[in-house]
Amino acid sequence: MSGQGPIPAVAGLGLRFAHLGEVIATDAAIPFVEVHGENHLSGPAGVALEVIRRDRAVSLHCVGLSLGSAQGLDDAHLQRLAELARRVEPALVSEHLAWNAVDHAHLADLLPLPLNRESLDVVCRNVERMQEAFGRTILVENPATYVQFPQSDIPEGAFMDELCRRTGCGMLCDVANIVVAAHNHGWDARAHLASFPAWAIGEYHLAGHERADGLLIDTHDRDISIATWELFDEALASIGPRPALAERDRAIPGFAAMLTEMALVQAHLDRAEQRRAA
C-alpha cells in the first residue's frame, strides 16, 4: 500500500464525529486529521472520511485491535480495518501497547500489560500480523497506566525499543500518557521520555487529564496541563519535531476551539523549530 506519503512535523486535528461536516466544509488549514479507525468502518462516517481524505492527509488511529492479546488478533476486525485503510490510504496508522480482548470478550478499554519476554513476543507477533494485513508499518503508542505488575521485568522504554527493532514498527509517543504514568508510579517523567527509542518516534499525542484519589486519570476531556506542555517542549528539543495533535474524546468542544488547540500545538512546534535553527 502506497499511502498518502509522510506527514511533516506539523500539528493536526483529532477529528471526532461531531466535526465531520465542518472539516469537509472549512477552508481552514488543517494539515492532517487523525480519526479512530473503529468510528469509520461503515455508515456516513465512513463515507465522510473518504471525502475528507481527498483533500487532507489522514492518520488512522486504531483502538480495538488489542495488540497485547495472548490469543492473537481478531481476524474479522483486522480485515475490516485493513479494508478501510485500503480505501483511505492513510499517511499514518497506529495502535496501542495495550490489550482489550480475551475469549471473544472485548473489554472496551486500553488495558495494561505486564511487560516481560512473554508479552514482548505476543506484541511482536500481533504487530507483525497487523503490519502484514495493512501492508505497511505502524506506530505503537505508550499507554497511560494506573497499575504495575510483579510479572513485569522489562522497563517500558526498553520494551518499546525492542518491539520497534524486532518488527520495524515505529512509536507514537503520547506525552500526556508519560505525565500520567510517571505521576501514578512515581517515575521521573523526563527520564521516562528519554528511555523511549527516539529514532523510532513518528508522532506525538497530547491530551488533558483529571486528578482523582491521588492519581492522574487520562480523560481526554479538558485542556492540556502545563506539565504536559513542558514535557512536549522537552520532547521537541531532545527527540525532535514530529507530527503532533491534541486528543479530545469527552466534553468535546466546538470546532473553533479544536482549531485553536491545534494552533497551540503548532506554536510549540514552531518555537522548537526556531530554537533548533538558532
Partner 1 sequence: MLLEFQRDFAAFLLRAAAPPPAIGRAPGEAVRFDVYRHNFTGNIVGALSGAYPGLHRALGDAPFGALAAAFAAASPPAEADLHRYGEDFARHVAQAMPEPVWLADLARLDWAFSCALHAPDAPALSLEALAEALRTRDDTQDLVLRAHPSLRLLTLAHPVRALREALLAEDDAAALDAIRDVAATGERLAVLRGTAGMTALTLAPAALRLATELAGGVALDAALAEEADGEALRLFLDHGMFSEAEVT
> What is the three-state SS of the chain?
CCCCCCCCCCECEECCHHHHHHHHHCCCCCCEEEEEHHHHCCHHHHHHHHHHCCCCEEEEECCCCCCCCCCCCCHHHHHHHHHHHHHHCCCEEEEECCEEEECCEEEEEEECCCCCHHHHHHHHHHHHHHHHHHCCCCEEECCCCCCCCCCCCCCHHHHHHHHHHHHCCEEEEEHHHHHHHHHHHCCCHHHHHHHCCHHHEEEEEEECCEEECCEEECCCCCCCCHHHHHHHHHHHHHCCCCCEEEECCCCCCCHHHHHHHHHHHHHHHHHHHHHHHC
Residues 200-239, mask of contacts with partner 1 (x by CB under 8 A): -------------xxx-x----------------------
> For partner 1, which residue of 25, 76, 277, 278 counts as binding (CB under 8 A)?
76
Closest CB 40 distance from partner 1, rounded Å: 10
> For partner 1, which residue of 42, 54, 277, 278 counts as binding (CB under 8 A)?
42
**9 or 41: whose CB is closer to partner 1?**
41
Q: Is residue 64 close enough to count as binding partner 1 by CB under 8 A?
A: yes
Q: Is residue 251 close enough to count as binding partner 1 by CB under 8 A?
A: no
CB-based contact 67:95 (threshold 8 Å)? yes
Q: Is residue 129 close enough to count as binding partner 1 by CB under 8 A?
A: no
> For partner 1, which residue of 94, 126, 184, 225 counts as binding (CB under 8 A)?
184
Q: Is residue 52 close enough to count as binding partner 1 by CB under 8 A?
A: no
**Exposed/middle/buried for 173, CB within 10 Å: 0-12, 13-18, 19+?**
buried
Q: Is residue 183 close enough to count as binding partner 1 by CB under 8 A?
A: no
Closest CB 11 distance from partner 1, rounded Å: 27
Closest CB 253 distance from partner 1, rounded Å: 18
Q: Is residue 46 close enough to count as binding partner 1 by CB under 8 A?
A: yes
> For partner 1, which residue of 59, 94, 100, 177 counts as binding (CB under 8 A)?
100
Part of the chain binding partner 1 (CB under 8 A), chosen from 25-33, 39-47, 191-199, 221-229: 39-47
Closest CB 42 distance from partner 1, rounded Å: 5
Interaction site with partner 1 (CB under 8 A): 38-39, 41-44, 46-47, 64-66, 68-71, 74, 76-77, 80, 99-109, 111-114, 118-119, 122, 146-151, 184-186, 213-215, 217
